[in-house]
Structure 1
Amino acid sequence: MSFKKIVVLLVFISFLYSCESKVYVAEIPQIIPTPSSQTINEGYFLLENPIGLSYDDTFKISGDFLRKYLQKGNTIQLTDNDDIQFLLDETIENPEGYKLSIQPFKIIISAKTDQGAFYAVQTLRQLLPPEFENGSFSDISTSLNTSKNASIQCMTITDAPLFQYRGMHLDVARHQFSVDFIKQYIDAIAMLKMNTFHWHLTDDQGWRIEIKKYPELQEIAAYRNETLIGHYSDQPHQFDGKRYGGFYTQEEVKDVVAYAQSQHVTVIPEIEMPGHAQAAISAYPNLGCTGEQVDVAQKWGVFEHIFCSKDDTFDFLEDVLDEVIPLFPSEYIHIGGDEAPKTNWKRCEQCQNRIKTEGLKDEHELQNYFITRIEKYLNSKGKQIIGWDEILEGGLAPNATVMSWRGTKGAVEAAKQKHNVVMTPTSHCYFDYYQSTNPEEPIAIGGFLPLEKVYGFNPIPSELSAEESKYILGAQGNLWTEYIPTEDHVEYMVFPRILAMSEVVWSKNENKDYTNFVKRVENFNKRLDVLDINYANHLYEIEGELISEENKNYYKLYATLEDKTIYYTLDGSPVNLFSHTYTKPIPITESTKIKAAVFDTEKRLGNVFSETINYHKAVGKKITINKTPHKSYSGCGPEGLINGISGSDSRYGDKEWLGFWGEDLEIVIDLGENMDINTIKTRFHNVQGQWIYAPSEIFLEFILDDGSKLTDKITLNNDNSNDVIDLDYTIPKPKNMGIKIKTIRLNITNYGTIPDGKQGAGQKAWTFIDEIIVN
């Protein structure tokens, strides 16, 4: 045994038998994503100077990464000994799998490939103190009296990913971010054992990649004259009057791709077609159907200026792809294919001639022709295409991979046709959605996607058989940046939801547990602090819900971390350590304003939770709806419409609003007894830029105590610019006669198909309804 190992052994024995020693403190393993298996063994590995690191060229990327990581801030003196050793193990079945063995005097990383070893290094990284992230853990020495040594619990970890595609997306067309930040984004992807960066480079609001053959893409398409201020739904629209834009040179792109390869991350570029092309058309008007000069888009949404299907357009796109392909060694080129309004195609003589000459049925088949023609070209260059699920419309291109974002229907359809699929539905994967109901949250596009919902995502649709499920390659989180102008804001929207997504795509389902996960997130936040990452910390926030039991109503509070103490008040007064301690659901018999917060022994840890309960006559009664709310906007379910709690004025995706897509509704409220009722109030979202339209017609029916019915029809004005349309109905009663009502029925007619010229033209409109207040 070497002298160093004898010294370490003596120190270790001293550590075990000295109750006063505080020198060596092992980190309890709290790894994200959680490994396939981990066995805790007796003892500790003490990281002391000098330390040996041994690897050959088989593990060059992973070995070099660990070497640089340990040497940050001159923390560690490295030798060529084998204290930490990389070993080739051909018996490991999964090429991305690894085995990590931590022993008292040795760490062995076993893998079949450098990629597998790289993921072992990322696990080892999380077993070291967070200060290693920036080199501030600088007291490593051989001295027995050192005040700071790194000790790692002895353990054996055997690990491999659940899915082969584990990705994160970033839109740089709406807002552009520096090359340095893109590298930091890739750092985060690699740290969490994800392997794909989907780089969205072109859209209506900007073209962000240099194409040397077409310089006006850089000079014109890369810049917009001004940008929308506030939210799209804010009326009237306001603009900042400032020119905005930029692009990545091909040298910068090469630099980013090489950097990603150094961390086993594949970069997939997205060049949008045939839709989201207004920026390109602004530079080269002949690429559109009308030939008219248009500006780079200055607000968000879907635009009618899409690529024309004439040969000149294909010549342009093939030239663009000829410059893109050499920059990206990835198997895939993402060609978009989503949200392409066919308005101009329907009016375009050249597009209509294309439909006739190619024997196509309609404009949807023309889109299939467009995608298939591009696919054949890319295939001839050794590339495969991947596109959003709209590429299914009109028939799927022969070898295409589908990225399913509009729910799971597209994924099921593609998998049943034996096409590969990447799951990225808005319901669980859109990180531009709000992640908290806190009114202080920064502006987001809409929707509501909390950490727990991301964590609960299962990428395998239940409709698929075991054989069909093999076509689900994996999943990715998407970040669209219409409302995310800064790098800090990007980090805030991504973290910690990327932690949940990493576990969705890596960890076995039987190893997943949300309660355990959030404890690991709390620990991981210390690492993010050292990395100076601006994460959203909602771990100490409170959620609540009204529950009904035996005709009595209670309000139940939840803390994300179960080992925390909740204090609350019921009169709207400030909450502190002297307030009520929450131990069980709170009885609710009247209108109440609850305030609550999580505390430790000394101070409040999170934001103050506040909920106003409007205790009306239908609260806690029986309600049925003839349609199931859309799973992306299911709120608290039907009972949420009569729980006394109104939804947000602006966030239709919170848990109080219910969303239905293109469906007529029948809502029945059974009051359980005859009641004297005077008014019915509710409200509907009317954010038409988000495809949400208040209904124009509502039919009301009341069943009276004598069994007779009282009916009425209400017409709402939904053609105005108000984000919310109110229904405030007073029940007409015969003079000097009382009327008692037991049952209330609302028949709500969906707006129907969105008309031409509006966002989402041709699509079904959404209906969003809030609390139904009965008094």
Structure 2
Amino acid sequence: MNFKKNYILLFLLIACLSCKKSEVKAIQAQIIPAPNSLKLLKGQFLLSSETHLIYDEELEPVVAYWKSLVTSVFGLNTGKSNIIRFVFDDAIQNPEAYRLNVKPEEITINASSSKGAFYAVQTLIQLLPPEFANGSLNTDGIYIQNLKIEDEPRFSYRGMHLDVARHMYPIDFIKKHIDMLAMLKMNTFHWHLTEDQGWRIEIKKYPKLQEIAAYRDETLIGHYSDQPHQFDGKKYGGYYTQDEVKEVVAYAQERFVTVIPEIEMPGHSQAAIAAYPQLGCTGEQVEVATKWGVFEDIYCAKDETFDFLEDVLDEVLELFPSKYIHIGGDEAPKTRWKTCDNCQARIKSEGLKDEHELQNYFITRMEKYLNSKGRQIIGWDEILEGGLAPNATVMSWRGTEGAVEAAKSGHNVIMTPTSHCYLDYYQSDTDDEPLAIGGYLPLEKVYSFNPIPEELNEEEAQYVLGSQGNIWTEYMPTEAQVEYMAYPRILAIAEVNWTKSENKNYENFVTRVENFHRRLDVLNINYANHLYEIEGGMTSENGRSFYELTTLTKGKDIRYTLDGTEPTLNSEVYTSQIPITESVKIKAAVFNSEKQLGKTFTQTINYHKAVGAKITIDKEPHKSYPGSGAEGLINGISGSDTRYGDKEWLGFWGDDIEITIDLGKEKKIKSVETIFYNANGQWIYIPDGVQIGFLNSKNEIVFPFVEQLFEPITRNTWGINFDYDEWFITRYIVFKIRNYGVIPEGKQGAGNKAWTFIDEIIVN
């Protein structure tokens, strides 16, 4: 009996001892964005309730922030055993730079401003277990690897954009988003607040903006390209009160994030015109837009409109202390202005040449007003049309051409081209990805972005302030979907903006992203995990074709089959490129020693008669959409019918092109077919026409050039097919492709050059 009693007491004692918090060992330094100088040292620092804080009063705001984090883990921090020292160091010239020195008895943070000290703290947080950030860590102490970091950002502007007009998100989510920007050392939150589909900010002088402009009657179901358009029949909307806006701005300021509001003008203003029809050119009632796209009802260039916008901006300026105010300026069709008496009178009275110069007048007038209030404007690169407002900063999204033009004219530039910065594009080519606007922007392409266009010299490059990722939310109805599209690509944007090019390394970055996933898990962020997916590609050598498989993560096996069956742990391990001599269906997946980690990769290869042939194009594809080069058009692989930016699609902007395929010798063929992308919302149109001709080895015409007709293939693709009744002999196949031209009024992208996207040319 006594034995049993003593046994129970011993068990309880052991149980109580096991409840004691344990110390957490130091974790490997895997910081995002990568510091520009990091040296690992021997030893560790023990962070605990005994750690003492010493600081210079200039850095006290950051010390208070750090205290709040530490207190949530260890309780009140009153110890004396070791030290974290915050040192104000005015010898550090860049206010965002810092030095972090971790030694066994002391951590020293040097900075010349609270902002620099704050970024040092964010680095320090990433040296701690992920659970530290949300206060869920249960421990008596945390060991931190000794190291020395000297760090500063590459660019002064490091931004993320969020559109809340198409879909709106709660204030708590906006704060969560800002927390992550701060962790990643991003300093700007571009809040896109007004659109055709909704007005999201309270303006007290104009209550109909809240009553009418903030709500649409219904919302488009499915993709814009789906025809006929379907709607959900449900009223949607809302707005942020001025008190809520103040709350967000204050929250961001505490984390050294500047909030820049965007109030769209003169285009993307249909919601405001729905509330106040007199602001439009016709004066007629319109509805808040219920589908996506560009609309012809834009602000009229009359005094009443300018009075309205100045009143709106007066209230906006009271809420946002930012140096910059974004005024949009993009996608403003001139259709209404061309037939508007008020606009034509304005053109005449101001001595303007046309409606494009009227847009410049509109933007310049609003800029002067904001300059008079001590602020500067940012606009999308369309503000270059008709001349650039004197002090404007250009946000270049239609490639880099606008940025180059602006920088060469001495204007500041923020880079955000669709090709590398639009996070509403698909990030994987797997079929089960959630619906997105289109395009293809994988993590590696985001990471590869260099915000300095190669056309700029060293002096002109100084006008590039940095870059920004954009999240347009037509197809993101929930917070979880926003996070899925943002992460982990936002990590790449953070490193593009912070880390010097010579210190970037994609393989190392992928390792850090894989580690960072645990941090995202703890913070309850719904990220996309494509690290265990496989990339494949065809290569040709001396007339022979091979297929290569790669994956992002190291230390794992790729196993594959060639007969279309699912790969298993018993399947062949990929070690070198696979010879391709016939049509096959490859399936592959990433495995560790126990199980499959990622999704199964599938690639069908159509080994037709042009695979491995010689191909030339008389124009280079646009540098943003080079695909796999010309050879990618005859590699036996067809691109996605929903992601025109993948490596199988070649994009040309406004160019007529001529393609010649040399089969190497005369061959017997019967048909030639190819496919073009059609996504008018992204300014991609099928060509104005395509001709195909055939020549023999002596360059004699076998068949004269014939105009081919287009046939719809899917909702996004149209094809042509030259199919002759009998076999014939040819060596050279020549395509002459006429670009759609300048997009006319009334169509998506009006006034801009159309894109041509072409995929696999199949010869049988």
Relative to the length of structure 2, the TM-score reads 0.95
Aligned with residue 430 of structure 1, among 412, 417, 422: 422
Query: Structure 2 CA distance, aligned partners of 1:633 and 1:614?
Result: 23
Corresponding residue to 1:741 among 714, 724, 730: 730
Q: Which moved more, 1:643-652 or 1:366-375?
A: 643-652
Residue number in structure 1 paired with 2:743: 754
SS at structure 1 position matched to 2:177: helix
Helix, strand or coil at the partner of 2:642 = coil
Q: Deviations over 1:38-58 (max 9, x none)?
A: 111111001233222233442
**Counterpart in 1 of 2:43?**
43
Q: Equivalents in 1 of 2:567, 2:40: separation in Å?
A: 42
- Residues 664-683 of structure 1 mapped to structure 2, 5 A cutoff: 664-683=656-675
**SS of the residue aligned with 2:549?**
strand
Q: CA separation in 1, counterparts of 2:304 and 2:629? A: 52
Instruction: Single out whichever of 81-90 and 606-615 deviates more from structure 2.
Output: 81-90
CA distance in 2, matches of 1:731, 1:340: 46
Where in structure 2 are the equivalents of 1:204-243 lying within 5 Å? 204-243=196-235
Letter matched to residue 47 of structure 1: L
**CA displacement, residues 37-79 of structure 1 (integer Å, 9 cap, x when unaligned):** 111111100123322223344223311221111222x434412
Residue 416 of structure 1 and its aligned partner are, at CA, apart by 1.1
Aligned-residue offset at 1:412: 0.9
Q: Determine whether 1:181 maps to 2:173.
A: yes
Say which is worse superposed, 688-697 or 42-51, in terms of deviation: 688-697
Supply the AA of the counterpart residue of 1:369.
Y
Quick check: 1:36–1:158 contact (8 Å CA) kept in 2? Answer: yes
Give the counterpart letter for 1:45 in structure 2. F
Q: Which residue of 1 aligns with 2:451?
A: 459
Indicate the residue corresponding to 2:111 in structure 1.
111
1:155-181 Cα offsets, whole Å, 9 max, x none, are 111111111000100000100010000
Aligned to 2:490: 498
Residue 28 (structure 1) aligns with? 28
**Matching residue of 1:723:** 716
Alignment check: 8 A CA contact 1:693 1:718 kept: no
Cα separation, 2, equivalents of 1:720 and 1:275: 34
What is the SS of the residue equivalent to 1:631?
coil
- CA distance, structure 1, for counterparts of residue 287 and residue 754 of structure 2: 28
Residue of structure 1 in register with 2:386 after alignment: 394
1:711 and 2:704 matched? yes
Amino acid at match of 1:402: V
Equivalence for 1:536 = 528
Q: Tell me the CA shift for residue 193 of structure 1.
A: 0.4
Residues 397-449 of structure 1, C-alpha deviations (whole Å, 9 max, x = no match): 11111111111111111111111111111111111111111111111111111
Mapped contact 2:49–2:79 kept (Cα < 8 A)? no
Q: Deviations over 1:342-391 (max 9, x none)?
A: 01000001100100100111111101100110011001111111111111
Could you list the per-position Cα deviations for residues 622-656 of structure 1 after superposition, in whole angstroms to 9, with x for gaps in the alignment?
11111111222221111111010111122222221
Hey, what does 1:75 align to over in structure 2? 74
Identify unmatched segments of 5+ residues in structure 1. Answer: 1-21, 141-148
* Higher mean C-alpha deviation, range 545-554 or range 744-753: 744-753
Larger displacement relative to structure 2 (463-472 or 653-662): 653-662
Structure 1 residues 119-518: aligned runs within 5 Å: 119-140=119-140, 149-518=141-510
On the 8 A contact 1:225/1:244 being kept in 2, the answer is: yes
Identity %: 65
Find the aligned partners of 2:292 and 2:734 in 1 and give their Cα distance. 38
Judge conservation of contact 1:41–1:156 (CA < 8 Å) in 2.
Answer: yes
Q: d(CA) in 2 for partners of 1:23 and 1:723?
A: 57
Q: 1:334 to 1:398 in 2, by over 3 A?
A: same
Alpha-carbon contact 2:49-2:78 (below 8 Å) kept: no
* SS, match of residue 182 in structure 1: helix
Q: Secondary structure at the match of 1:682?
A: strand
Structure 2 Cα separation of the partners of residues 466 and 80 of structure 1: 51
8 A Cα contact 1:221 1:296, kept in partner: yes
Residue 704 of structure 1 contacts residue 739 of structure 1 at CA under 8 Å; is this kept in 2? no
Quick one: structure 1 residues 719 and 47, their matched pair in 2 at CA, closer, same or farther if it must change by over 3 Å?
closer
1:586 aligns with 2:578: yes
Equivalent residue, structure 2, for 1:16: none
Name the amino acid aligned to 2:313: L
- Preserved CA contact (<8 Å) 1:422 1:476: yes
Asked whether the 8 Å contact 1:61–1:263 carries over to 2, the reply is no
In 2: Cα distance, 1:689 partner to 1:320 partner: 30
SS in 2 for 1:123: helix
Q: Deviations over 1:445-481 (max 9, x none)?
A: 1111111111111111111111111111111111000
State whether residues 34 and 495 of structure 2, in contact with CA within 8 Å, keep that contact through their aligned partners in structure 1: yes
| Amino acid across the alignment from 2:95 | P
Query: Is the Cα contact below 8 Å between 1:228 and 1:238 reproduced in 2?
Result: yes
* Secondary structure in structure 1 of the residue aligned to 2:423: coil
Partners of 1:466 and 1:230 in 2: how far apart? 46
Matched, 1:554 2:553: no
Instruction: Write the letter of the residue equivalent to 1:302.
Output: V
Two-structure CA RMSD over aligned residues (Å):
1.5
Structure 1 counterpart of 2:562: 570
CA positional deviation for 1:720: 11
Say whether the 8 Å CA contact 1:435–1:451 is kept in structure 2: yes
Opposite residue 758 of structure 2, the aligned amino acid is I
Amino acid at match of 2:595: K
Secondary structure of 1:199's counterpart equals strand
**CA shift in 2, pair 1:45/1:720, >3 Å:** closer
Does the residue aligned with 2:159 lie in a helix, a strand or coil?
strand
SS at match of 1:684: strand
Is the contact between residue 647 and residue 770 of structure 1 (CA under 8 Å) also seen in structure 2?
Answer: yes
Q: Cα gap change, 1:24/1:175 in structure 2, threshold over 3 Å: closer, same or farther?
A: closer
Distance 1:276 1:718 in 2: 33
Distance across 1 between alignment mates of 2:501 and 2:437? 31
Flag structure 2 segments of 5+ consecutive residues without an equivalent.
1-21
Q: Matched residue pairs, number?
A: 741
Separation of aligned partners in 1, 2:713 and 2:25: 64
Tell me the equivalent position of 2:754.
765
Aligned partner of 1:10 in structure 2 is: none
Residues 206-255 of structure 1: CA distance to partner in whole angstroms, max 9, x if unpaired? 00000000000000000000000111011111111010000000000000
CA distance in 1, matches of 2:40, 2:739: 58
Q: Give deviations 1:64-117, integer Å, cap 9, x for gaps.
A: 221111222x43441275611111111112111111111101111111100000
Instruction: Give SS of 2:173's match.
Output: helix
Q: How far does residue 131 in structure 1 lie from its aligned partner after superposition?
A: 1.5
Q: Give the deviation of 1:721 after TM superposition.
A: 9.3
1:718 CA displacement: 7.0
Deviation, structure 1 residue 687: 2.6
Distance 1:80 1:393, change over 3 A: farther
Moved more, 46-55 or 510-519: 46-55
Is the contact made by 1:695 and 1:716 (CA closer than 8 Å) also made in structure 2?
no
Contact 1:75 1:137 in 2 (8 A): no
Matched residue type, 2:148: T
User: CA separation in 2, counterparts of 1:408 and 1:247?
Assistant: 34
- Give the letter aligned to residue 636 of structure 1: S
AA of the residue aligned to 1:151: Y
* 2:420 alignment partner AA: H
**C-alpha distance in 2, partners of 1:320/1:556?**
57
In structure 1, what is the Cα distance between the partners aligned to 2:549 and 2:714? 37
